[in-house]
Amino acid sequence: MTDTSTLRILEPTRGVFAYYDGRVPGARLHSAMENWLDDGAYSLGIASYAIVEGSEAVVFDSHISLDHARAVRQHLEGRGVSRFTLVLSHWHDDHVAGNAVFADGPIIAHHLTRDALAANRDKLENGNPAIRPLVMPTEIFEDGLTLTMGGRIVEALHFEIHSADGVVLHVPDAGLLLAGDVVEDTVTYISEADFTPTHIAELNRLAALPVRSILPAHGAAERIAAGGYDAGLIAANRSYLMRLLAGEGRDGAPLSRFVADDVEAGRIGYFEPYEAVHRANLKALAAVGL
């Protein structure tokens, strides 16, 4: 069993729920030993989302454990939802751990997500904590897919940011972007360093979407609860990567100083655990000669 007592249910806008856990000082859910759940997703804070229209819900990512996914489903069923469609933002463990809870409905993913899950199945099913059973997507798409719930349209769009298989959800009638891991607050985590120039180009493409509000997987609960971030979050993440590629940050200055201008402008906040992410990003880029 995974403790869900710190899980918070937020409603940043009409019919959209955020299931937020983490950023709890001194708390750990899985183990005192280093593990992906406590030292990644939970320490940085993570949210999965649901878009609800009548008895239908599009759930974006299945959270960090089966128990978290069950809590999401229980809340939605309590609101009268009986039809669930799960959309995966990408293949990483903290976004797919609860897939099995939604296995009675469609599980939609980019074809690269399916391929990555298959290639990394042994690692995921035997990780710490283990994701078992790992339930695979039942439907895949290429560039984009349009979902309809009643009169509401939800667009699943592919962006090669953070991970080659990155997917966001765009809700046109709300000017809303559910961003997965393509942007984060405080800074993006570089998981595929070789492709950082591509990620920057794709952030330019993402910035062209007509959105007023952005809800990331990793951000501040207070900002998410208040309706999310504006397009400044994309600009801040893009600027961060561009400055790293330009050689900034190699002097050992802390992240707090590196992002001070964006924090002061309100585009992002500052959360101290991202200092470790920043150091890891610098090492990842150096390892591939960028």
Q: What is the pLDDT of residues 11-46, one digit of tens each?
A: 999 999 999 999 999 999 999 999 999 999 999 999
Query: Is the pLDDT score of 172 beyond 90?
Result: yes
pLDDT band, very low/low/confident/very high, at 151 (cuts 50, 70, 90): confident
Does pLDDT of 119 surpass 90? yes
98-126 mean pLDDT:
98
* Confidence category of residue 150, pLDDT binned at 50, 70, 90: confident
Residue 71 above 90 pLDDT? yes
pLDDT at 254: 97
284 pLDDT above the threshold of 90: yes
Mean pLDDT estimate for the chain: 97
Q: Delineate the domains of the chain, giving CATH numbers in brackets.
A: 8-287 (3.60.15.10)
Please, which pLDDT band fits residue 167 given cuts at 50, 70 and 90? very high
Owner of token pair 């964006």:
262
pLDDT digits (tens, 9 = 90+) for 193-228: 999 999 999 999 999 999 999 999 999 999 999 999
What is the model's pLDDT at position 166?
98
